[in-house]
A and B are shown apart, each in its own frame.
Chain A
Amino acid sequence: MATMAFDRTPAAPAESPDNKVYFDGCRAGKLLLGRCKDTGKLFHYPRHVSPFTLSNNVEFVEAKGTGEIYSWSVARGKEPFCVAYVKLDEGPIMLTNIVECDLDALKCGMKVKVTFKASEGEGAPVPMFVPA
């Protein structure tokens, strides 16, 4: 028997000078990663400091928005929903929700693709994933 994920409205992300580029990307329907220009390595969550060298020699690059579930759980409240880590095809793993899905059919390795979900109030939309 299928148990559909509850269609919850996410809390608005707290925007800051550091993460504004990322959430502006979300407003434009783009999922951004950080890229350290010293090492060429990608990272999530994006910020203006490289987690590899601590320099500010970083840029933001768009991810394809596809990946697979690395791990998942279902919060079993009255309105169950899935919290997951998704491994993007580019490599980094990010925390997210899997939405519009059967909560009884979730598996590590399941292919997923990004969707942007409106958050509360004037908040930026946030990237979530649906089965691909």
Chain B
Amino acid sequence: MKNPAYIVGAFEHPTRKAEDKSTAQLHAEVAFGALQDAGLSASDIDGYFCAGDAPGMGGLSMIDYMGLTKLRHYDTTESGGSSYVIHVGHAVEAILQGKCNIALITLAGRPRAEGMQTGTAVRSFGAGVPDEPFEIPYGRTIATMHAMVATRHMYEFGTTSEQLAWIKVAASHHAQHNPHAMLPKVVTVEDVLNSPMVADPLHRLDCCVISDGGGALIVARPEIAKSLKRPLVGVKGWGEAYKHQSAGAIDLTYSAARFSGAMAFEKAGVKPADIKYASIYDSFTISVLVQLEDLGFCEKGQGGRFVADGNLISGVGRLPFNTDGGGLCNNHPSNRGGMTKVIEAVRQARGEAHPKVQVPNADLVLANGKGGNLGTRHGCGTVILERE
């Protein structure tokens, strides 16, 4: 046993529109699915991790709803869509510190059933948020905030809309093999460029889907992982980092993945070139491009060239990414894509991805999550997983 903890259970909810289920039900269903995948039961769980999508005060209502009676440790670190990647690292640390043995992480939500305009409506986190009075009057949205990262990247590095489109094209090549994917049709660069402009320079097909659903993970200490029947997927490296507006010294061209990735690679003792498969947070095409640079898969500013010509397509390019179709084509449950990033990385490491997209001998894989506004206020979590 080479690693401090193992992901022994993973489950992605198959729904993409949950009109007949509550958010609490979805949390419970993904938890049950991950426990079944691991060969464990709810009474084995002694650590629970959730974020802002869990209904209630922190996770207290979900702990009660799911009947988690054996809890010794609980963590509600909220960092938007990156929370669940960060939770994996926190679970490993909690296991190392003896705070728990078997940790459950859940995510679920139903923005699609609720008719949410995730990216194109002005969203507030409520009264008292100090930065919002300086932003909400300007009608900023998730889409325009990400779009400005793309505008600046194009200005500084000559990145093109065609290059960004290749990211969607690659995701669509993978999604065609996923029976649950919301957008299973293969698209071309032209299809992306011809889709309506949402927020210059991002087109509709540069954006992720809005979907319901969720996912869950079980992280366990080595001796428990060994006693189960699933392939051994160890957490070899993990890191988290947070970026802000730097008091007005804004630089939109990089993300906190620059730091969370460096921490994870250092812990794992491996390099970007060693990674066989990467799950990259894909709220928009530009999100992927910036993270790929920051994680060290290419030089800063070279992301456009790196992603072009199918380099992210499994079986074609050098770095297969998001082989489930990702948020861009498959699923972005609760507007938070970090959970599904880890789940597909686990599938790849186990050799259980769809045969058409499975990377041969994917014994070292990475997942990166980003939550919040790309370029300014966000958190990133990186995990590097190893199959033993």
A residues touching B (Cβ–Cβ < 8 Å)? 8, 10-16, 18-19, 23, 33-34, 41-45, 47, 51-52, 70-77, 81, 83-85, 91-97, 108-109, 119, 123, 126, 128
The answer to whether A41 and B247 have CB atoms under 8 Å apart is: yes
Point out the residue from A18, A73, A93, A119 that lies within 8 Å of B199, measured CB to CB.
Answer: A73
The answer to whether A94 and B152 have CB atoms under 8 Å apart is: no
Residue from B133, B151, B201 whose CB has the most chain A CB atoms within 10 Å: B133
The answer to whether B148 and A84 have CB atoms under 8 Å apart is: yes
The answer to whether A13 and B152 have CB atoms under 8 Å apart is: no
Sample of 8 further A-B pairs with CB below 8 A, known A71-B149, A73-B147, A83-B199: A52-B247, A70-B250, A71-B148, A72-B200, A91-B249, A93-B249, A108-B151, A123-B137
* A10–B182 alpha-carbon span in the complex (Å): 35
* A11–B132 alpha-carbon span in the complex (Å): 11
Q: A75-B199, A76-B200, A96-B138 are in contact. Are A15 and B248 (CB under 8 A)?
A: no
Q: A76-B200, A95-B140 are in contact. Are A18 and B130 (CB under 8 A)?
A: yes
* A18–B132 alpha-carbon span in the complex (Å): 13
Q: A41-B247, A95-B138 are in contact. Are A16 and B133 (CB under 8 A)?
A: yes
* A75–B202 alpha-carbon span in the complex (Å): 10
The answer to whether B133 and A47 have CB atoms under 8 Å apart is: no
Q: List 10 A-B contacts (CB under 8 A).
A: A13-B133, A23-B133, A45-B134, A47-B130, A70-B152, A72-B200, A74-B197, A92-B248, A93-B250, A109-B155
* A19–B252 alpha-carbon span in the complex (Å): 25
B residues touching A (Cβ–Cβ < 8 Å)? 120, 122, 127-128, 130-141, 143-145, 147-149, 151-152, 155, 196-202, 245, 247-250, 252
Residues of A near B139 (CB, < 8 A) are 8, 10-11, 75, 81, 83, 97
The answer to whether B137 and A119 have CB atoms under 8 Å apart is: yes
Closest beta carbon of chain A to B203's beta carbon, Å: 10
Q: A19-B133, A43-B248, A70-B250 are in contact. Are A83 and B198 (CB under 8 A)?
A: no
Residues of B near A13 (CB, < 8 A) are 133-134, 136-137
Closest 7 pairs (CB-CB, A-B): A92-B248, A73-B147, A43-B247, A10-B137, A44-B248, A51-B247, A13-B133
Residues of A near B200 (CB, < 8 A) are 72-74, 76
Closest beta carbon of chain A to B107's beta carbon, Å: 29
* A93–B152 alpha-carbon span in the complex (Å): 13
Closest beta carbon of chain B to A7's beta carbon, Å: 13
Q: From A108, which residue of chain B is reached at the shortest CB distance?
A: B155
Q: From A44, which residue of chain B is reached at the shortest CB distance?
A: B248
Closest beta carbon of chain B to A88's beta carbon, Å: 8
Closest beta carbon of chain B to A124's beta carbon, Å: 9
Q: A10-B139, A13-B136, A93-B248 are in contact. Are A76 and B152 (CB under 8 A)?
A: no
Point out the residue from B120, B201, B250 that lies within 8 Å of A75, measured CB to CB.
Answer: B120
Q: A14-B127, A71-B152, A77-B120 are in contact. Are A91 and B248 (CB under 8 A)?
A: yes
Q: A18-B130, A81-B139, A95-B134 are in contact. Are A73 and B151 (CB under 8 A)?
A: yes
Residues of A near B122 (CB, < 8 A) are 11
Q: From B129, which residue of chain A is reached at the shortest CB distance?
A: A14
Closest beta carbon of chain B to A100's beta carbon, Å: 15
The answer to whether A75 and B141 have CB atoms under 8 Å apart is: yes
* A2–B202 alpha-carbon span in the complex (Å): 20
Residues of B near A42 (CB, < 8 A) are 248
Residues of B near A96 (CB, < 8 A) are 138
